[in-house]
Amino acid sequence: MSFQPVPSAPPPPPPPPPPGEPRRRRWVWPLVAVLALLVGAGAGLVVGLAVDDDSTPSAQQTPSPGETGDESDELERLRDRLAQIEEQRDDLKRRLDEARAELESRATETPEEPLESEPTPFEGEFTVGDYTFTDVEVLRDFAGDFEVRATVTNDGDADVDFASLTATVLNGDEAVSTLTTSVSALAAGDSVEAQFIGFDDYGDWDAVEFSVDGGSDTTT
């Protein structure tokens, strides 16, 4: 008589999980990753739109090509004006330096003879129309030119409002200088000291000719 071995008892079942501990689910973490990607993409889109909105006013404030051209033209005009002012300043400085040098040169020069000479008087009187010239003198003025002085008397019966007088200095019947002056408000019988001014260099002479509005008389 044979005996079969008695099979061993099955192992006891595993203990149940502790109460309150949730069962792990493998699909949770992939879902979290997908949600994070979606949130990041949404945030990037919002930031991009905000940056684009902020940059729009800057683009609108950019000056137009016409405005930029006007500003460039104005700047160029200012530069040209500044260059002109600097050129005028340099020219003025050059002239001042030349004038200063000329004054210094004249200050160191010793004139060979006095510029103004002693007058050469004429004796007698010289009549031209209603005018009489007395105390006539010819001299060299301070600039080295001819000068004629005389006392002019209105011998007419009427007062003179204005009259032009001319003195011509002669040398051998050739005019070497023409000098002019004028009188005004000269009553009948009154006299005035007249100074005839010219711009011819003083030189040899031997006669003087006076004229008043066309009349003339020569003295020697």
User: pLDDT (tens digit, 9 = 90+) per residue, 97-148?
Assistant: 888 888 888 777 665 655 566 777 777 788 898 999 999 999 999 889 999 9
pTM above 0.85, yes or no: no
CA end-to-end span of the chain: 201
Reading phi first (left if > 0) and then psi (alpha if -120 to 50, else beta), residue 27 is in alpha
User: At the top level of CATH, which class does the domain 120-219 belong to?
Assistant: mainly beta
Q: Which long-range contacts (CB under 8 A, 24 or more apart) does 3-10 make?
A: none
pLDDT digits (tens, 9 = 90+) for 19-70: 554 555 555 566 556 566 665 655 555 555 555 555 554 445 565 655 666 7
pLDDT digits (tens, 9 = 90+) for 64-99: 655 666 788 888 889 888 888 988 888 888 888 888
